[in-house]
Structure 1
Amino acid sequence: MPRSEGSPLLLAGLLAAAGVTHFAAPRTYDAMVPSGLPGSARAWTYASGVAEVALAAGVALPRTRRRAALVAAAFFVGVFPANVKMALDWRHRPAPLKAAALGRLPLQVPLVLWARSVGASAEGRS
């Protein structure tokens, strides 16, 4: 990803929007939670939504941007199993839904690289 002035704010906006959707449409996310995790799927849905909103705030603020962006990169890696589960669960759905689920898998790579780039270009204050 290019290192532009707006890039951190775009990443923050993406994280914030994704985090809010965990509360607006939690059932979608509940279904993605791998069954091997302890506790309820809804608790994981809400926790990941809170994490994304917190990361959005951290990336938006210059003082915490570096650390928050690097944690966001790790977060994108950490949620990859949920995207794999979604792709497996949706393999028999209509083609557009199946394509959307499969499309989430390679999308994680540029998200990780983008977050790392934002972290690397941030001033080392965090």
Structure 2
Amino acid sequence: MSLLQHLARFVLGAALITAGTGHLTFARKEFPAQVPKMLTDGPLYLDQDMIVLASGVAEIGLGTALVALPKARRTVGLIAAGFFAAVFPGNISQYLTGTDAFGLNSDRARFGRLLFQPMLIAWALWSTGAWPRR
């Protein structure tokens, strides 16, 4: 693992902790925009605020694990990549419904957010050494 990978892992961990804290506090009113209606209005009927809170707790846990558990970094990287893939439908929903949040107030901006999600997945895998080697 290179120094750049270690730094990238710490930055990703800090970003996840910050985002997770936002779920629970300062950005709590923005995050429901990314909860797909199929989770709240469909057969599951999950509480939108509970989804926001649970995903925030998950982000704080993942971020903390990325920073504090270097020996488990590959496993945590795989879990973080899976988490980013799991929340991707929320980003797709925000784009398809044209919901404004986090300054994403145009279709172009929301579409750009869609392109960022695969980069987060790659970042989680690369920065933890979970990316398959050739």
- What's the TM-score once normalised by structure 1's chain length? 0.83
Q: How large is the Cα RMSD of the aligned pairs?
A: 2.5
Amino acid at match of 2:81: A
**Structure 1 contact 3–118 (Cα < 8 Å) conserved:** no
**Structure 2 contact 16–62 (Cα < 8 Å) conserved:** yes
Structure 1: runs of 5+ lacking an equivalent: none
- Deviation by residue 1:5-42 (Cα, 9 ceiling, x = unmatched): 31110110111111111112222111221122231010
User: % of aligned pairs identical?
Assistant: 32
Seen in structure 2, the aligned counterparts of structure 1 residues 3 and 78 have a Cα distance that, compared at 3 Å, is farther
Amino acid at match of 1:100: A
- Structure 1 segments (4+ residues) deviating >6 Å: none
Moved more, 64-73 or 84-93: 84-93
2:50, 2:24 → 1: CA distance? Answer: 11
Q: 28, 32, 35: which is aligned to 1:33? A: 35
- What's the TM-score once normalised by structure 2's chain length? 0.78
Structure 2: runs of 5+ lacking an equivalent: none
Where do 1:56-67 residues align within 5 Å? Answer: 56-61=63-68, 62-67=70-75
Aligned residues: 120
2:100, 2:78 → 1: CA distance? Answer: 35
Amino acid at match of 1:7: A
